[in-house]
Structure 1
Amino acid sequence: MFPLYDTIPSRKRPYITHIIILANVIVFFYEIILNEPQLQAFFFNYGIVPLRYTWRFTSKLKYQIIWKEIQPFIVSNPIVPFISHMFVHGGWSHILGNMWFLWIFGDNVEDRMGHFNYLLFYLSGGLFALTFHWLFNFYSPYPLIGASGAISAVMGAYFIQFWYSKIVTLVIWFIPFLVEIPAVVYLFFWFMFQILNGTLADITGSGVAYWAHVGGFIYGMIVGGRIRRYYL
């Protein structure tokens, strides 16, 4: 199933959503011109590498060794990755999927919150998602990149604010057809799917940050719900 659009038009132009998408696209096209070693260095410097911040808190020799191996590649300011990781993507499917979901859900949430509040919500949601991911990957030497944590927060807010909406979804079952799925149903099962995949990923070692999705969605439900009650 692939979501195409929702059934609630926004009343105002979602300028911040458009700017966020444009910023992600610009960064991605910069990534394309990099060769493989440069791209890996870019990921390590502008993605969040948990071990960069936690190696001092472990006495395990293997983490000390891993840190010494990757440390020469990391030269960026340690604060920058907390924001920049939300604008870095690992491939075409990564950025297209993220930007498509942001396009579907972001306009209505921005409309409800207002442009400035939405921007703060988006960035803080990404940081909360990062924190949730960090709890399950405290000494990870792999960079966390992508906007999916922040976008999951947007989806969590949509779940609370626009539960009555419908998501027009493309379903391919022998032949393709469209179906309207209630947003509350679509997003509930999406959220449960992230929890299931996150649990399996802890066993199989998948590279997808499912727990960041879970954390972002929870943040969106809590904070999005409060903003909704404040404005209505």
Structure 2
Amino acid sequence: MGNVVIPVHDVNPARRTPWVTYALLAANFVVFLFLTPGVAGSLTGESGLAQLCHLQAFLDRYAVVPQELVHHRMPNLVPTGDTGVGPQGPGCVVGPPGYAKSPELSVLTAMFLHGGWLHLLGNLLFLWIFGNNVEDRMGHLRFLLFYLVCGYAASYGFALLNADSRAPLIGASGAIAGVLGAYLVLYPKARVWVLVPFLIFLPLRLPAWIVLGLWFALQAVYSSGGGVSDAGTVAYAAHVVGFAAGMLIAWPLRPGTPPPPA
């Protein structure tokens, strides 16, 4: 999820088992490993045009496409998953969509899709560390609803800022950013063990408001395209919107939140 420090553990035990967090972790992993085309090939080192075209067709069907979401219309031509040879040489074949896609439902499916192992594991690490306490405070069903609302807010926010984009938007980052925003509001003084890369990885115990505040500041800078070379390939704006949504939703719960251990 893009950070200069790597969180590994928070000193903030939960009172009850975070079943929803566990289910979300498992669902993201299962979808990536067993349902996303090309993962098996990546594990064996195999790759090729056919695999790429299959993945492109899969993402076009199940990922968020900002242009479709904002204008609520499907394109006339989409990737079919087949390969062919055209004037420019071998490539992916496009054709009329053979399916009915709901842009609104694609926001939900896209939350469980990831572009690679680093993308997946980075997201799941943040959800593992910070999700249990937010679920503990909200309760299981409210936390699930909260997670989905933050994911929708992040996707719609990104789509409105990139209304003409055809690039697929995938990942749980927006929803998990909402979890981080809620954690910052509810447990700003909780201690978080992080690894800071400085020649070697230095372990430090920092308050959550520093760790998550720095994370949010970096996402805001990156979303403007500053200080990073791949700003166009990561939906940093979705992180910013999701984080803000999480803070706003969690704010009313602050007064009754028990303080974390000192």
Please say whether Structure 1 and Structure 2 have the same fold, judged by a TM-score greater than 0.5. yes
**What is the root-mean-square deviation of aligned Cα atoms in Å?**
2.4
Q: 1:93 to 1:204 in 2, by over 3 A?
A: closer
Matched with 1:61 is none
Matched with 2:246 is 220
Indicate which of 75, 79, 85 corresponds to 2:99.
75
Indicate which of 35, 38, 47 corresponds to 2:63.
47
CA distance in 1, matches of 2:69, 2:199: 49
Indicate which of 185, 189, 194 corresponds to 1:169.
194
One-letter amino acid of the counterpart of residue 156, structure 1: G
TM-score (norm 1): 0.88
Residue 135 of structure 1, CA deviation: 2.1
Matched-pair contact (CA < 8 Å) for 2:134–2:183: yes
Over 6 Å off, 4+ runs:
201-204
Matched with 2:48 is none
Matched with 2:17 is 13
Matched with 1:60 is none
One-letter amino acid of the counterpart of residue 221, structure 1: M
Matched-pair contact (CA < 8 Å) for 2:64–2:107: yes
Higher strand content, 1 or 2: 2
**Paired residues, number:** 224
- The correspondence of residues 127-138 of structure 1 with structure 2, limited to 5 A, is 127-138=152-163
CA distance in 2, matches of 1:33, 1:153: 31
Q: 1:49 to 1:180 in 2, by over 3 A?
A: same
- The correspondence of residues 103-182 of structure 1 with structure 2, limited to 5 A, is 103-182=128-207
Matched-pair contact (CA < 8 Å) for 1:112–1:228: no
Matched with 1:85 is 110
CA distance in 2, matches of 1:190, 1:135: 23
Q: 1:194 to 1:156 in 2, by over 3 A?
A: same
Residue 69 of structure 1, CA deviation: 4.0
Name the stretch that deviates more: 48-57 or 89-98. 48-57
Structure 1: runs of 5 or more not aligned:
58-63
One-letter amino acid of the counterpart of residue 223, structure 1: I
Higher helix content, 1 or 2: 1
Structure 2: runs of 5 or more not aligned:
42-50, 79-94
CA distance in 1, matches of 2:167, 2:27: 23
One-letter amino acid of the counterpart of residue 188, structure 1: G
One-letter amino acid of the counterpart of residue 77, structure 1: K
